[in-house]
Amino acid sequence: MRSVVAISGASGSIYGIRLLQELPGVKILVMSETAKAIVPEETGLSVEQVYAMADKVYEDTDLFASIASGSFEYDCMFVIPCSESSVAKYACGIADTLISRAVSVCIKEGRKLILVPRETPKSAIMLENELKLARLGVVMMDANPGFYPGPKTVDDMVNFIVGRCLDRAGVKNALYKKWE
Contact yes or no for 51/29 (Cβ under 8 A): yes
Tally of domains in the chain: 1
Assigned domain for 177 exists: no
Assigned domain for 130 exists: yes
Assigned domain for 69 exists: yes
Domain that includes residue 53, residue range? 2-143
Report the CATH number that the domain containing residue 105 is assigned in CATH.
3.40.50.1950
Q: Give backbone dihedrals phi and psi of 28, rounded to 5 degrees, phi first.
A: -105, 130
- Cβ atoms < 10 Å from Cβ of 162: 29
* pLDDT tens, the chain, 180 aa long: 999 999 999 999 999 999 999 999 999 999 999 999 999 999 999 999 999 999 999 999 999 999 999 999 999 999 999 999 999 999 999 999 999 999 999 999 999 999 999 999 999 999 999 999 999 999 999 999 999 999 999 999 999 999 999 999 999 999 999 988
Distance CA 93, CA 2 (A): 24
Read off the pTM.
Answer: 0.96
Pairing mode of beta strands 76-82, 2-7? parallel
Assigned domain for 99 exists: yes
Q: What is the pLDDT of residues 132-150, one digit of tens each?
A: 999 999 999 999 999 999 9
pLDDT, residue 179, reads: 85
pLDDT, residue 96, reads: 97
pLDDT, residue 180, reads: 80
Assigned domain for 6 exists: yes
Assigned domain for 148 exists: no
